[in-house]
């Protein structure tokens, strides 16, 4: 058996407001849960935006230019993970995850293969990247090879 209930305008406004507050609380909790799950899965989202601004459009990054600029700015060989850390300091990064940034960097490094060189650091996994003038005979010049690696 169904019952029909009639509400006054004031009661209807109070009920509506109560449900809107509850929906906002549930939405916030859901966002918090997604962030925790992303961290647990290793997809931690780095962002310079506050949680309320996260849905905002992120800036456009020209990854090839970003890599070349950072190599020149730092004047040292950089691993991809170091480039990623530098990217997260950039305001244009928005709400991109570490995985998204890694993919963008990998694609850009591939496109730059004729404009930069890679260096296999003994005892380290992966490659460090640098400008061609930092190398002689496919080996990093002494001033660049002497970097203390983490």
Complete DSSP assignment for 45-74: BP-SS-GGGTTSPPPP--HHHHHHHHHHHH
Same domain, 32 and 106: no
Instruction: Using pLDDT thresholds of 50, 70 and 90, give the confidence band for residue 55.
Output: very low
Report how many domains make up the chain.
2
CATH, residue 91: 1.10.10
Give 8-22 pLDDT, tens digit per residue: 888 887 888 788 778
The span from the CA of 118 to the CA of 81, in Å, is 14
The per-residue pLDDT for range 30-48, each reduced to its tens digit, is 777 887 788 777 755 554 4
> Do 67 and 116 fall into the same domain?
yes
pLDDT value of residue 61? 86
Alpha-carbon gap, residue 100 to 73, rounded angstroms: 23
35 and 78 share one domain: no
In this prediction, residues 119-129 reach a mean pLDDT of 86
Please list, residue by residue across 46-71, b when 16 or more beta carbons sit within 10 angstroms of its beta carbon and e when fewer do.
Answer: bbeeeeeeeeeeeeebebbebbbebb
Per the structure, the complete domain to which residue 26 belongs is given by 9-41
Q: Mean pLDDT, the chain, as a whole number?
A: 81
Quote the DSSP letter at residue 121: -
Do 93 and 37 fall within a single domain? no
């Amino acid at each position: 058996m169904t019952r029909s209930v009639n509400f006054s305008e004031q009661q209807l406004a109070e009920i509506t407001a109560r449900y809107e507050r509850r929906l906002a609380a549930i939405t916030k909790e859901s966002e918090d849960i997604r962030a925790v799950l992303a961290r647990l899965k290793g997809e931690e989202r780095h962002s310079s935006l506050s949680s309320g601004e996260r849905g905002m459009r992120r800036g456009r990054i020209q990854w090839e230019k970003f890599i070349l600029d950072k190599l020149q700015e730092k004047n040292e060989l950089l691993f991809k993970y170091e480039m990623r850390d530098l990217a997260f300091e950039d305001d244009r990064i928005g709400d991109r995850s570490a995985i998204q940034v890694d993919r963008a960097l990998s694609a850009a490094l591939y496109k730059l293969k004729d404009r930069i060189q890679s260096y296999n650091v003994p005892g380290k996994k992966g490659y460090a990247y640098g400008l061609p003038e930092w190398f002689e005979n496919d080996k990093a010049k002494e001033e660049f090879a002497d970097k203390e690696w983490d």
